[in-house]
Structure 1
Amino acid sequence: MQLDALSLMTVAMVNLVTISLALPLIMGKSLTPAARAAQRALLLLTAGWASLVASEYLVSSYVLSVLSMAGLSASLVMLHRALSGWLGPRPGALALKALAIAMPLGYAFSFAHYPLRVGWSNFLLAAMLVLLARATLVARRHAGHHWRLLLLGCFATMAVLTAARGVLGAFFTSAYPTFLSPNPVNIAAAVAVNMAVVLGTVALLVAWRDEADDRLRAMANTDSLTGLPNRRGFMERAEALFANAQRYRQPLAVLMLDLDHFKQINDSYGHDRGDDALRLFARMLRETRRTGDLTGRLGGEEFCVVLPSSQRDTASGFDQRLRARLQQRSEEELGFALSYSAGVAAMTDGDATLAGLLARSDAALYEAKHGGRGRLLMGDSGSGHTVV
């Protein structure tokens, strides 16, 4: 079977057009910035490839050829942006943008000099592909490795073949006199493009699916009103902190907190104002906690804080800072004072499970609420104090 470059390029263009039209139907309208960047990358790649193929059928191909280089370069920038959204900040973003600007400009200015324009465009495209391949290697966020390896293979293969075409065009022009030359390297590159289009699209769809799964998982573990972990999400992470403290024999304290007279707030000011109070309290918890501390809303007006590497005095200090913040901010933002009762328990050698530790802090909270509210009670010692 005889394969010619133009037919292979045309097939790649048809595949890209089909994928670009189908992808929005598959992914829908509610997209994250990363997924939207991936869609735009494929659209730009399609436009660039269509311009490249069309330029071979027209006598005046200068404008289409330059546009094709611009489209290909821009598509790689958008792919890098998609990877940054899925994997966290990626290295090489500025270098990629600089290359994406330089490549079509250099191509346009050197268009009349075939060896220079072919060498310039292919070498810079290869460099951009190397940067993209590098961007798939390390994930700063939880991400599957299979789709990253698939993209790595696509980018690396295309980088090698693109650089090889640059070498042929720049230094062995007689072996590669035109874009459609039946040189084995050119044919291999055209075949690889078709494979990369299909496999790359599969990889992007898997990345998008993984992102959607992560978002659903986060929604299932997050309280929609306050943005804190809900009971399920809190317990999963609290169990891990408890197990770590047991393993390394480190101290750990648990604070159980409950807003005082919350029903009266709803009755007097309305449920919307009650929601504002819950959001404010959650924000105060986030501002007061240290790095590594865990806060969550267990339900209703009940919250919990896990303080790793902490004893009861650390929990008491947390409580004092939280009360001071809450007293000031609640008057300013809500127009009324917001207070809470709290119970604290510190992990001991006798605590075999997190449930037992939570039960002791909950019992201390119960005593605090029935002993006057607006106070912190130490569950371990049974002694309490009122925080002014």
Structure 2
Amino acid sequence: MIDILTFMLSLGVGNVTFALLMAGYMRGATPSPSLTVWIWARLFSGLAQVCCWLAPQFGFPLAGKLASFASVVGVALELAAYCLFFGFAHWRRFLYPASVAGMAVVTLALLAGATTEQMVCVVAMIVALFAAGAAAVLLRPQKGASLLQRIIGANDALFALAIWATMGVTRGNVAALGASSLVGFAYMASYLLMIVNGFGFLLMCKQQDDANMQRLATVDCLTGALNRRAFFERAESARMLALRLRKPVALVMLDLDHFKRLNDSFGHACGDQALRMFADTAGAVLRDHDLIGRLGGEEFALALPGTTLDGAFQAAERLRLAVAAAPLPGCSGDYRVTVSIGLVLIEPNEELTAALARADHALYAAKSGGRNRVEVGAAILKCA
């Protein structure tokens, strides 16, 4: 079996290498605070492990002391990177005091003249506590958590359990590690921590970047609604699914009334606020599986799967009333936006573009009829 000093050196070199790989990954890319903190975590962990090798190998007692502090800093930074990655708002409130407490324990142990074996036990337990904290962050109940996230969390939990089990069996006697059957388990957990967490965090960052790119490609950046291309793709998928299931799909065209007048009177910032207000109101009124897209300017479209013509009319009326009641505080206290709506039911085997054209005709009729109203489009005439 590999001796512990050689093992610590290999872990140290591995962690420093991971840090350099991550630095190369970030070069030329959009700065990532979580990845930057993670790089420092890998560097401090690598420094601690190299110092653990240097201290007995060359008789540098100071290196052993540095290893203790660097180990605590490394795992604290690793937990901070996770908190930043998941966007925790108040992580500093608990992580800063925990980090200071860990450093204080190490300092007190050194001042009390703790032996090397005792320092290893103290630092190992602190590291295990932070690893358990990282596991709690990654394994917490969370909607949409990826399998990769769960694997990394399980790896952190395994590492913490390996340390606690090893310390428990040896009763803190580090010298007995060579004879313990758990030493191989502890080595393997440490190695997996480096490999799985090192590559895993990079892959999680890439997953996040890919998701952001996908969002930018499909979502209108101003309103958060689907953009024109994404709406057409998803509405067509909804139409095809409804055709197979023989379910209805309602299609709605909407236009904010007098939008140019709003821009001219209060400025484009107010117009942008009106567009966002409409999208937010529609999101609150409609069902989760309903589709809303911004087709351009002040024109929006809705696809309502599984909705009859009567149900679509009622939904459109609720939306119209909700929009008319929503204030625009950044524009004028008494100004209210209204919306004109045209809706149709997609006929069996009717193309999406044809249904949109019918809904657009109904929208034109709603505007011609005085605006701030819902108009139902004419059905397709069937030959006798």
**Normalised by the size of structure 1, how large is the TM-score?**
0.71
Q: Distance in 2 between matches of 1:127 and 1:274?
A: 52
Q: Distance in 1 between matches of 2:175 and 2:47?
A: 29
What is the identity percentage for the equivalent residue pairs of Structure 1 and Structure 2? Answer: 28
* Residue correspondence of structure 1 range 305-324 to structure 2 within 5 A: 305-324=302-321
* Residue correspondence of structure 1 range 1-388 to structure 2 within 5 A: 3-28=2-27, 30-31=30-31, 34-36=34-36, 38-46=38-46, 48-49=48-49, 52-53=52-53, 56=56, 57-59=59-61, 63-64=65-66, 66-78=68-80, 80-81=82-83, 84=86, 112=114, 122=124, 125=127, 129=131, 135=138, 140-141=143-144, 143=146, 145=147, 147=148, 151=152, 155=156, 158=159, 162-163=163-164, 165-167=166-168, 169-170=170-171, 174-176=175-177, 193=190, 196-266=193-263, 270-329=267-326, 332-335=329-332, 336-347=335-346, 350-351=348-349, 354-380=352-378
- For the 8 Å contact 2:68–2:123, the answer to whether it is kept is no
Q: Distance in 1 between matches of 2:251 and 2:157?
A: 50
- For the 8 Å contact 2:38–2:81, the answer to whether it is kept is yes
Alignment correspondent of 1:91: none
- Following TM superposition, by how much is the alpha carbon of 1:364 offset from its aligned partner in structure 2, in angstroms? 1.4
- Following TM superposition, by how much is the alpha carbon of 1:276 offset from its aligned partner in structure 2, in angstroms? 3.6
Q: Distance in 1 between matches of 2:276 and 2:153?
A: 43
- Following TM superposition, by how much is the alpha carbon of 1:213 offset from its aligned partner in structure 2, in angstroms? 1.2
- For the 8 Å contact 1:96–1:128, the answer to whether it is kept is no
- For the 8 Å contact 2:250–2:346, the answer to whether it is kept is yes
Moved more, 111-120 or 235-244: 111-120
- For the 8 Å contact 1:122–1:165, the answer to whether it is kept is no
CA-atom RMSD in angstroms: 4.6
Q: Secondary structure at the match of 1:373?
A: coil
- Following TM superposition, by how much is the alpha carbon of 1:170 offset from its aligned partner in structure 2, in angstroms? 2.1
- Following TM superposition, by how much is the alpha carbon of 1:204 offset from its aligned partner in structure 2, in angstroms? 2.1
- For the 8 Å contact 2:76–2:95, the answer to whether it is kept is no
Amino acid of the structure 2 residue aligned with 1:361: A
Change (3 A) 1:106 1:157: same
Alignment correspondent of 1:385: none
Q: Secondary structure at the match of 2:304?
A: strand
- For the 8 Å contact 1:118–1:166, the answer to whether it is kept is no
Q: Distance in 2 between matches of 1:100 and 1:62?
A: 19
Q: Distance in 1 between matches of 2:187 and 2:23?
A: 26
- For the 8 Å contact 2:128–2:164, the answer to whether it is kept is yes
- For the 8 Å contact 1:114–1:169, the answer to whether it is kept is no
Unaligned 5+ runs, structure 2 = none
- For the 8 Å contact 2:294–2:301, the answer to whether it is kept is yes
Moved more, 303-312 or 210-219: 303-312
Q: Distance in 1 between matches of 2:174 and 2:13?
A: 29
- Following TM superposition, by how much is the alpha carbon of 1:228 offset from its aligned partner in structure 2, in angstroms? 1.5
Query: Residue deviations 1:218-244, cap 9 Å, x none?
Result: 001011222211112223333444455
Q: Distance in 1 between matches of 2:135 and 2:202?
A: 18
Q: Secondary structure at the match of 2:342?
A: strand
- For the 8 Å contact 1:44–1:74, the answer to whether it is kept is no
Query: Residue deviations 1:153-193, cap 9 Å, x none?
Result: 854774575456435642665533xxxx6989658855774
Query: Residue deviations 1:247-305, cap 9 Å, x none?
Result: 55554433210123434444555544433432333233234334333222011221012
Q: Distance in 2 between matches of 1:76 and 1:149?
A: 16
- For the 8 Å contact 1:8–1:194, the answer to whether it is kept is no
Q: Secondary structure at the match of 2:171?
A: helix
Q: Distance in 2 between matches of 1:332 and 1:151?
A: 46
Q: Distance in 2 between matches of 1:149 and 1:321?
A: 41
Q: Secondary structure at the match of 1:238?
A: helix
Change (3 A) 1:300 1:104: same
- For the 8 Å contact 1:344–1:364, the answer to whether it is kept is yes
- For the 8 Å contact 2:76–2:130, the answer to whether it is kept is no
Amino acid of the structure 1 residue aligned with 2:144: R
Change (3 A) 1:364 1:337: same
Moved more, 201-210 or 159-168: 159-168
**Normalised by the size of structure 2, how large is the TM-score?**
0.72
Amino acid of the structure 2 residue aligned with 1:358: L
